[in-house]
Amino acid sequence: MTNEEIIRLRILNELYYSASATHEEEAERRLLLENSSLPEEFAADREMIEHIGSAAIPDGFEMRLAAKIDTIAEAEHLDDSPAGNIRHRKFMSIWNMAASIAVAIAMGCTFFLTDRSSWENSSELSPEETYAQVDNALTLFANALDRGYKEAYEAETTAGNAATKALESLSRLSTPKNNI
């Protein structure tokens, strides 16, 4: 691996872990991590990419997720009454609780039903390094979600502002002017 590739990989890692890498930069990073002469300092990054690659997303997941987001957005706009907001908060709190329970069950099953002796033999990371890797992964995930939430909020705000301006301009056009 050349010095330029190593420098580029460090830059791409920094972008990736700060959740600001584009899809093209992430693809370039994956290609660099697949290099057979990869330095040891990037071994954990390569291993993480291999494990992430083994978790396949089901077919049609993106379309179902987008449809669910659209359904929730429509429900929010159709029912802006105080009672509707309370129902929405209750509904979302139930889903949040269900998601938390699902994550806890998955983690518990992994922890309690897996042979721990294989963990000790297969892991080259100390518990502190493992914690740091998990923390980095969760931070990356949270930043990506936050970035998506902010973009959706900005788009909604922009659309709302445009609609308000259009309605104001229509009301000015429809209001008769009294010329005395």
pLDDT tens digits, 118-173: 555 555 667 777 777 888 878 777 777 777 667 777 777 777 777 777 777 777 76
pLDDT at 142: 76
pLDDT at 164: 76
Range from 4-8, 18-22, 52-56 that averages highest in pLDDT: 4-8
**Total-model pTM:** 0.34
pLDDT at 53: 64
Lowest mean pLDDT among 46-50, 80-84, 89-93: 80-84
Q: Are 156 and 76 in contact (CB under 8 A)?
A: no
Average pLDDT across the chain, whole number:
75
pLDDT at 9: 92
Mean pLDDT within 15-43: 89
